[in-house]
Structure 1
């Protein structure tokens, strides 16, 4: 995706995956790949875990609420934030996405409320017939300092078995 919802600043790292929009196994795959990718790039464990949870919510929603056969999942790291996102192929919801406030007895409806709690910021936007959702978490200062003093090429090496997409 070139038209990013939340991107602030130049990219230090970017990767993406195409996953099945019809298989519940895609949720696990997305969780594993996001966590592995973020940790391989030196993102602190707690932040990587939060990004994994957010990705799980986004992919689950796309599988449960759209008819997409393919989901596009991505991860990005800028100088100050780690970002994850999911694009489905629709159909788009008739109303804007927003967190619900379910009662204690309700089984569903907590996903976007959880995203709202974990993310520094998040956004959703219609793209074509589908919806792109993206969430950013501010990286700790220690990581930001590490990025600013490191060779940027070090952060463009993807985890084993994945293909990096170089920043534009």
Structure 2
């Protein structure tokens, strides 16, 4: 299930006052989401996508996750990072992986602007497209996903069951 929260211009937003650097990670972590495994901040470029995917796979292997969980993590990280690179206009992106006994949470934040689709997606016409179904893949591989966007950027979180 996914949730999208995108305030209208001038509406509520995330982090209007930039917290001190030491508090920035905490603002992205809800209570109970587990222990932070890794945080990576990179320039939003195609190269960042492959680097983050390799990092995610290394974390999965290091934690002894199942092949299915590793695949889910790699796909989700790839899709979310690719969306930042292609669609956000952000100069950078930050990925955080958190884990508890039952779940692994992927968070990707950018400083770009949410862009609404000008018209609804025509699923039948999109079926043969080479791309454009990234968030559907994130939903398929996760048990929960959320998108929060504001004037300061977008935060996407996806939860993988272990």
TM over 0.5: yes
What residue ranges of structure 2 are gaps of 5+ in the alignment?
1-24
Normalising by structure 2, we get a TM-score of 0.74
Normalising by structure 1, we get a TM-score of 0.71
Report whether the alignment pairs 1:41 with 2:43. no
SS of match in other structure, 1:76: strand
The Cα shift of 1:11 comes to 2.0
Question: Taking structure 1 as reference, are residues 127 and 46 closer, same or farther at Cα in structure 2, changes over 3 Å only?
Answer: same
Matched residues, number:
135
Aligned to 1:26: 48
| Contact 2:147–2:155, Cα closer than 8 Å, also in 1 | yes
Moved over 6 A (4+): none
The Cα shift of 1:58 comes to 0.2
> In the aligned structure 1, how far is the partner of 2:73 from the partner of 2:33?
20
Alignment of 1:47-62 (within 5 A): 47-62=69-84
Superposed CA RMSD in Å reads: 2.3
Question: Taking structure 1 as reference, are residues 53 and 99 closer, same or farther at Cα in structure 2, changes over 3 Å only?
Answer: farther
The Cα shift of 1:137 comes to 0.9
> In the aligned structure 2, how far is the partner of 1:108 from the partner of 1:45?
24
